[in-house]
Every structure is written in structure tokens, then in C-alpha cells.
């Protein structure tokens, strides 16, 4: 497959004739109006319009806004391929991410390589390590009486935890984090491509080190190298898998922590609930995941198709703002309200269908333990009244700034 | 009551296990591969909670078994 690649926010001059005029919106998904104040509310405005809309930005793409429709697109992998899973199209010259970019039937055997090290059972034993890292890092900022959460805390922890889980030497951390930042946040496709290539080179170096080990362990990189030795995957596929696993869990978890800590800073009653009933944090984690979804993923049509009465041409991209699925009132009553006692909280902010996020099993305990440890050490805190939080959109929705203060001891 | 999991539909969301750990378990790969299982009355509410929270709709509750 080859598709034309569009640069940055390149805007179509003319709307294609198969797109009905009443479906056209002027939306650059990196900067919906109001995003700096509140990324989720900025996007939520799309729910006031039609279910499916079309924006001329990034060469033109569809946006599916309702939970059930996103679900249908993600399940129909034959029509909507994952080969181009972010807008704009990556095109040639990029390292391939596996299993993410593959579709069934090639997808399954590749995904099966990393299922086990990313399963809930495999992650459980490292929970104490996650807790220790979280607790130590929080303890180090407590005496300051405040922090800018994103730069001083939230951004560093998830990569560090992933490196711990994957047993990668920590000295590689800063550079990899820089690549991950660029891939998730830059709206310049050239920068993103350079970061992907840089990341791939680093992964190859890490894999090469692991290839020297005779007795392989059960961590994710060892499992990849073992599959390679058994002839199940090629060296190129090893790199693709390693890159995919690594990029998947960095910005996403950092962003989730930033949204959650900001919500808790503004809502003392919710803090109190969590402090008084420790058994609530698991359900709270799921509720936060629903309320503060992160990703704007995409699919690409493999053939001309009709979807809910609209014609989608081959090669057109469909953006799936997964965070909007959790905010769809057709699925969740009072979706903007954070209610830890929601009975039906079965969100799919980790996606659905064959590509459902494998790293979710690591993300969940990271978030839960973060909430527990933060509230244990900093039960009372608020947004710095002299400063302002700043939100942003992109492949990953995020807060770029969350200034917090608390009573110093 | 019996819980019946459609293994082909399970995508490993893990929400059944998180909501009802005494009813649902995941295998080493992170998927629910449990056979049709009879649920004791005291766990029926949990079983239901796990089922309605499955994003794939992969869990069916068969009440006839209890009749």
C-alpha cells in the first residue's frame, strides 16, 4: 500500500465532492478551540454536531465522534486498517510498529510474542517496585510545598517504570523520552519521523545487548529475543515490536496522571472519598480512565465503503478520538461527572478489537498506585492560584502545565 | 446462574476480573479463557457487574441454570 503523505497542518483547498457540506468542520485536531483551558471540553463540543464529520486539515480526514461508531470502526479491521494509525499519514521512510500497524491475520502471531510479559499476571510482581519509585519521587517533592507537576514529576515516572519493567539500563532514559515526546506531541511530521527513526536505532542497540545474554529472562525484551532465536520473528520484526511496546506507554500514562492530579487538586470532596475508603482506588482508576481519555488514533480505509450513509473513499483516514467515547452520554449518563460508584464503567479508552492496548495492564497499576501514594503523602493540595494549568491536544491529549501548591511542612 | 465467556470476542480488557475477581480469571496471556462456570448465588451480583462492564459484550449470563 502506498498513500500520499501530507505535511503538518496542510489544509485541503477544496472539499472532496463525496463529503456532504453539512459534515464539514474546521478543526485542526492538534488545536481545537478552547484546548488550552480544557482539552476534553474543547473536544466535547463535537457532540453538539453530527455523529461523523470531516475536516480539511492534514490533507482532509473524517472524525467519528460517538462511542458506538468508534467501536464499529475498530472492530472492522478489514475495511479500516491500522496501517496508518495516526493523522497525518506516516507514509514511507518510517520504522514500522508491530503489532500495531499490522492487521489480521499477520497481526495475531506477532502480538502473541509480547502478550505474556504484558499480562496482568506478569505485571503484578513489579507493583512493589512501582510503589517504591512513586513513593520516593513524591517524598522528594513534598518539602517544596508545590510543583509544576508535568516537568517535575508526571513526565518522568512512566518511562522510568517501563524501563524498570523491561529491565533496560536507566542511562538510556533521557534520550528515549525525548523521542517519545516528539512522536506524541510534535505537529511536524518530519520531526516525528526523525524521532521514530532515532527511537528505532536506540531499540536496536538495546536488543543487541539483550542478544548477548545466553539465559534469557521473562521480561519483554528477553521474550522478543527468544522468539527471534526460535525463528518465530525476524530481526526487523524484533525492532518493530520493541519500538511499539516502548512508545505505547510513555506519553499516554504521563498525560493520564496530569489530568488526574489536576482533577484531584480541584475536587477536595473526591480526594476525601479516596482517602477515607482505600478500596475505592481501583474503581476510581477506571472512572478516571473513562473521564480523561487520552488518544486520538486513526484508521485508513482499505476500500471505498459506506459508513452510516456516508461514502468513505479508499485511502481516507478516520480519526477516532477515543477520549470522546468515554464522554458519550448515549453510553454513560452524566459523562462529565466523575463518580467512583458508577455501575457501568466499561470504557474502551484502551481501544477495542484486535489492537486493544496491551500496555493497559501496566498503565492501570501505575495510575492506581500513583493515586494511593500521592494522597497518602499530599492529601491536601490545590492549583497554584497565581498560575494556570495548560492543556494540549495531539495524538495524545495532555496537560503541558499543572502548577500545584500544598501546605509545606 | 452460569457465566459463559465468548473466548473469540475477549480482547483482554481485564475489566471482568477487576470488577469481579472471585468470578472471572484471566489466563497467562491476559485473556479470559474460562469454561462455562456455575456461579453461587452470593456471587451473582459480582458476576453481573463483570459482565456489564465488558466492552466487547463477551460475557453472557445464563439464568436458566439456576432455575
Alpha carbon distance A275, A287 (integer Å): 16
- Is the pLDDT reported for residue A167 higher than 80? yes
Sign (positive or negative) of CA dihedral A363, A369, A372, A377: negative
Where residue A6 falls among pLDDT bands split at 50, 70, 90? very low
Do the strands A61-64 and A52-55 form a parallel or antiparallel pair, or are they unpaired?
Answer: antiparallel
Mean pLDDT of A293-321: 97
Sign (positive or negative) of CA dihedral A103, A108, A109, A113: positive
Q: What is the pLDDT of residue A188?
A: 81
Mean pLDDT of B20-35: 96
Closest Cβ–Cβ partner in B26, B28, B54 for A346: B54
B29 touches chain A (CB under 8 A): yes
Each residue's pLDDT tens digit, A23-33: 999 999 999 99
Give the single-character DSSP code of A24: B
Where residue A313 falls among pLDDT bands split at 50, 70, 90? very high
Cβ-defined contact of A119 to B18 (cutoff 8 Å):
no
User: Please, which residues 349-378 of chain A have a Cβ atom closer than 8 Å to chain B?
Assistant: 350, 352-354, 356, 358, 360-361, 364
Alpha-carbon torsion, ordered A252, A255, A261, A262, to 10 deg: -150
Cβ-defined contact of B52 to A354 (cutoff 8 Å):
no
- The residues, ordered by sequence, that sit 6+ positions from A194 with a Cβ below 8 Å of its Cβ are A182
Q: Which residue of B has its CA nearest to A347?
A: B55
Where residue A159 falls among pLDDT bands split at 50, 70, 90? confident
Output the nine-digit C-alpha cell for A396.
Answer: 495524545
Mean pLDDT of A327-346: 94
| CATH architecture group of domain A21-405 | Orthogonal Bundle (1.10)
Each residue's pLDDT tens digit, A38-96: 999 999 999 999 999 999 999 999 999 999 999 999 999 999 999 999 999 988 888 89
Domain count, chain B: 1
Domain with B34 in it: what CATH number? 3.30.70.20
Sign (positive or negative) of CA dihedral A32, A33, A39, A40: negative
Alpha carbon distance A262, A333 (integer Å): 23
Mean pLDDT of A176-195: 82
Give the single-character DSSP code of B14: -
Cis peptide before A138 (omega within 30 of 0): no
The b-or-e profile of A81-111 (16+ CB within 10 A means b, else e) is bbbbbbbbbbeeebbbbbbbbbbeeebeebb
- The residues, ordered by sequence, that sit 6+ positions from A184 with a Cβ below 8 Å of its Cβ are A250, A251, A252, A394, A395, A396, A398
Each residue's pLDDT tens digit, A345-387: 888 999 999 999 999 999 999 999 999 999 999 999 999 999 9
B46 touches chain A (CB under 8 A): no
Alpha-carbon torsion, ordered A108, B25, A339, A33, to 10 deg: -10
Which residue range(s) make up the domain with B56?
A: 2-66
Alpha carbon distance B14, A85 (integer Å): 24
Amino acid at each position: 500500500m502506498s498513500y500520499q503523505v501530507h505535511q503538518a497542518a496542510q489544509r485541503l483547498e477544496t472539499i472532496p465532492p463525496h463529503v456532504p457540506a453539512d459534515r464539514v468542520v474546521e478543526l485542526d485536531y492538534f488545536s481545537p478551540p478552547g484546548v488550552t483551558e480544557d482539552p476534553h471540553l474543547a473536544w466535547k463540543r463535537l457532540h453538539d454536531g453530527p455523529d461523523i464529520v470531516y475536516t480539511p486539515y492534514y490533507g482532509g480526514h473524517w472524525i467519528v465522534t460517538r462511542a458506538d461508531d468508534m467501536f464499529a470502526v475498530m472492530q472492522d479491521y478489514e475495511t479500516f486498517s491500522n496501517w496508518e494509525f495516526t493523522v497525518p499519514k506516516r507514509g514511507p521512510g518510517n520504522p514500522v510498529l508491530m503489532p500495531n500497524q499490522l492487521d489480521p491475520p499477520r497481526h495475531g502471531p506477532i502480538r502473541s510474542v509480547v502478550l505474556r510479559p504484558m499480562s496482568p499476571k506478569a505485571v503484578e510482581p513489579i507493583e512493589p517496585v512501582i510503589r517504591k519509585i512513586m513513593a520516593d519521587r513524591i517524598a522528594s517533592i513534598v518539602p517544596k510545598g508545590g510543583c509544576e507537576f508535568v516537568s517535575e514529576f508526571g513526565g518522568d515516572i512512566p518511562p522510568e517504570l517501563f524501563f524498570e519493567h523491561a529491565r533496560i539500563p536507566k542511562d538510556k532514559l533521557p534520550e528515549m523520552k525525548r523521542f517519545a515526546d516528539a512522536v506524541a506531541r510534535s505537529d511536524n511530521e518530519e520531526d516525528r519521523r526523525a524521532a521514530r527513526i532515532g527511537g528505532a536505532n536506540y531499540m536496536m542497540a538495546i536488543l543487541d545487548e539483550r542478544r548477548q545474554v545466553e539465559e534469557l529472562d521473562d521480561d519483554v525484551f528477553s521474550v522478543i529475543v527468544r522468539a527471534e532465536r526460535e525463528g518465530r520473528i525476524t530481526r526487523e520484526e524484533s525492532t518493530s515490536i520493541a519500538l511499539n511496546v516502548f512508545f505505547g506507554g510513555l506519553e499516554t500514562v504521563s498525560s493520564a496522571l496530569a489530568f488526574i492530579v489536576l482533577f484531584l487538586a480541584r475536587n477536595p470532596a473526591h480526594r476525601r472519598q479516596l482517602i477515607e475508603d482505600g478500596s475505592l482506588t481501583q474503581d476510581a482508576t477506571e472512572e478516571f480512565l473513562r473521564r480523561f481519555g487520552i488518544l486520538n488514533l486513526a484508521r485508513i480505509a482499505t476500500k471505498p465503503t459506506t459508513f452510516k450513509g456516508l461514502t468513505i473513499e479508499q485511502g481516507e483516514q478516520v480519526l477516532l478520538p477515543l477520549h470522546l467515547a468515554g464522554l458519550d452520554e448515549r453510553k454513560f449518563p452524566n459523562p462529565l461527572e466523575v463518580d467512583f460508584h458508577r455501575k457501568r464503567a466499561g470504557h474502551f479508552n484502551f481501544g477495542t478489537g484486535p489492537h486493544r492496548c496491551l500496555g493497559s495492564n501496566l498503565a492501570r497499576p501505575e495510575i492506581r498506585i500513583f493515586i494511593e501514594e500521592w494522597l497518602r503523602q499530599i492529601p491536601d493540595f490545590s492549583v497554584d492560584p497565581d498560575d494556570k494549568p495548560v492543556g494540549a491536544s495531539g495524538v495524545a491529549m495532555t496537560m503541558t502545565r499543572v502548577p500545584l501548591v500544598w501546605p509545606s511542612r | 446462574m452460569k457465566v459463559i465467556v465468548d473466548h473469540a470476542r475477549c480482547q483482554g480488557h481485564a475489566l471482568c476480573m477487576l470488577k469481579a475477581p472471585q468470578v472471572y480469571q484471566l489466563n497467562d496471556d491476559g485473556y479470559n479463557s474460562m469454561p462455562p462456570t456455575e456461579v453461587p448465588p452470593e456471587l451473582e451480583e459480582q458476576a453481573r457487574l463483570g459482565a456489564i462492564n465488558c466492552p466487547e459484550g463477551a460475557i453472557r449470563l445464563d439464568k436458566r441454570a439456576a432455575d
